[in-house]
A and B are shown apart, each in its own frame.
Chain A
Amino acid sequence: MDEDKRITLDNLSVRYRGAEDAQLKNVSATASIGQIVGIIGNSHTGKSTLCRVLAGVIPNIISAEITGSCEVLGHSPVHEWPNFNSLTGVVLQNPAGQLSGLADTVADEMAFDLINQGISEDVINKRVANVAAQMGLTDQLVQTPESLSGGQMQRLAIATAIVTQPTILIMDDPTSEMDPLGRQQFFHWLANVQSTTVFIVSSEIDDLSEIADRIWVMDDGQLVEQGTPQAVFNYLDADRQIPKPTAYQLAAGMNWHLSNGALPVTPSELKEAYDGKN
């Protein structure tokens, strides 16, 4: 496959200035254009640092020692950041920190990135209306960003990231403050995203298993597993203490296997395994 259609991390290590240990240790991984990559792992395992490298925040904004290489769709976030930044949308862990602080309304906040790109007002209005509808924020467009709830604030943060129609979307725990319905709507929306390569850190294992093309498992700064959700959760070491999808746990309890011998990880696979058993 062409280099400009792949994401390749090769022996990537990152150590923050002043830190004794590296936050990422010899991470090597691949994914393809248009895929959704779910990044999972326990706390302080390097997930956010990986997102920062993929977004080019390290070393362009936050100083750190980097060895190895990171190529995303033919671009290097480390060496070609200004160009790379125009292709990416980033959702930070803290949604309030993502807001400009100078917007009177939710609509203004969404428009901020587009104004920065010098886009005309007509286009800005259309894009803002479109993205607000996608994120369920149409009724909040004239409210102040500060008046939003935590979940709405997170949807606004996502809206600000996708309003520029990025080729690469990097999201660090974007649903942590959402209610169950909001989270469900978000993953439904994400499943239908097209022409965008998505990296998403999340602890919503069930949702990730359904929508992700690949799962990367982080532990102590290392990428310990990578592959399809089915492959990863079937071979994931129990010592990692990462919860398995509900479908997997149920199927394991009932001894329902798929035709390939693996345990299902999504509801549709669970049904398939059930039908195969009966």
Chain B
Amino acid sequence: MTDQSMLSGNPAGKSRWFNAIDPISKLLLILDMALLSFASTNLLLEAGLITGGLLLLLFSKVSSTTVKALGFSLFLIFTMLVIQGLFYSKNQTVWFSIIGINFYKEGLIYATTLGSRVLVIILASGFFMVTTSISENAKYLEQSGLSYKTVYVLMSVCYILPEIMGNMRKIQQAQRVRGVNPQKTVIQKLKSVLPVLIPLVIKTLDQSMTRSISLQLRGFDNPNRKALKSTNRYRLVSGLHIGLTFAAIILIGWKLWTKISGLL
């Protein structure tokens, strides 16, 4: 076992297509898809972007977290559709009625556009999240020249959210076991969250402090630290960076131009 590296700093085999894309390119892809979505109100384009995002997810990995995030955002989008369909300030044309309640075309199109943008961002971010581990990001950033301390601070933001959610699950599970709150409906679930918010935050902060102590004891800011050299598994890094950055600049420029020309 000692003859070959057992550390994932030097990954061997088991590489899929998305492992060849570096984290920065994936982040730029999120930016480009979001910009493209915001640059137009064409619903066909939005549908295309959503399809693209879905395909990216389906051909990579679909995790339960992504499905939950999608489910939650679809619930939000549905409420947006109802609210805007009924109350959007520019509503004029009745599209359809349900039990005598009129839903307007303008509001529904507006809500669909907004909802599509949310979905595009969630799908693109979901692709990034399921295909890039926190440690991969950390290693990549460290190898790009950032100090490990800075990398850790950046990555701990990604780390703290799952930690809060994990703590919340444990607390809610304990509540259910004790029969404090059956949490069968959404209202009951929301009610169960409110009283534990402060202890939840305190517990998470306490865990962060323990981790900070441990990291200092383990010498994470040691000046002798040398990141393991990993074989470069990323492909077309420069090309992707340049292409995606260029696309982002074009999209921002185009959006600005349309705004400015609209003012003139």
Chain A interface residues toward B at CB < 8 A:
55, 57, 60-62, 85-86, 88, 90, 92, 94, 96-105, 107-108, 111-113, 115-118, 121, 124-126, 128-129, 138, 141-142, 160
Contact = CB atoms under 8 A, between A and B. Distances in A.
Interface of B: 1-2, 4-10, 133-136, 138, 152, 155-156, 159, 207, 210-220, 222, 224-229
A102 B1 contact: no
A118 B222 contact: yes
A102 B155 contact: yes
B219 A107 contact: no
* Most interface-central of A94, A100, A141 (chain B CB within 10 A): A100
A100 B111 CA distance: 43
Given A62-B213, A86-B219, A98-B214, A141 B6 contact: yes
Contacts, number: 110
Given A96-B207, A97-B213, A112-B218, 19 more contacts: A55-B217, A57-B217, A60-B216, A85-B217, A88-B217, A98-B214, A104-B8, A108-B9, A108-B135, A111-B9, A115-B226, A116-B219, A116-B225, A117-B224, A118-B222, A121-B9, A125-B4, A138-B1, A142-B6
B218 A113 contact: yes
Given A92-B214, A97-B207, A129 B6 contact: yes
Given A61-B216, A116-B224, A128 B207 contact: no
A60 B128 CA distance: 38
Contact of A107 (B6, B138, B213, B218): B6
A121 B5 contact: yes
B10 A121 contact: yes
A85 B219 contact: yes
Given A103-B135, A129-B6, A92 B219 contact: no
B226 A118 contact: yes
Contacts of B218: 100, 112-113, 116, 160
Nearest to A101: B159
A97 B210 contact: yes
Contact of A102 (B135, B210, B212, B224): B135
A102 B152 contact: yes
A117 B7 contact: no
The 3 A-B residue pairs whose C-beta atoms are closest, nearest first, are A97-B210, A118-B224, A116-B219
Nearest to B223: A118
A57 B215 CA distance: 11
Nearest to B136: A104
A104 B217 contact: no
A141 B134 CA distance: 19
Contacts of B159: 101-102
A104 B133 CA distance: 8
B5 A115 contact: no
Contacts of B133: 104
B8 A105 contact: yes
B5 A125 contact: yes
Contacts of A90: 214, 217
Contact of A117 (B2, B222, B228): B222
A136 to B, nearest CB: 15
Contacts of A117: 219, 222, 224-225
B47 to A, nearest CB: 36
A116 B6 contact: no
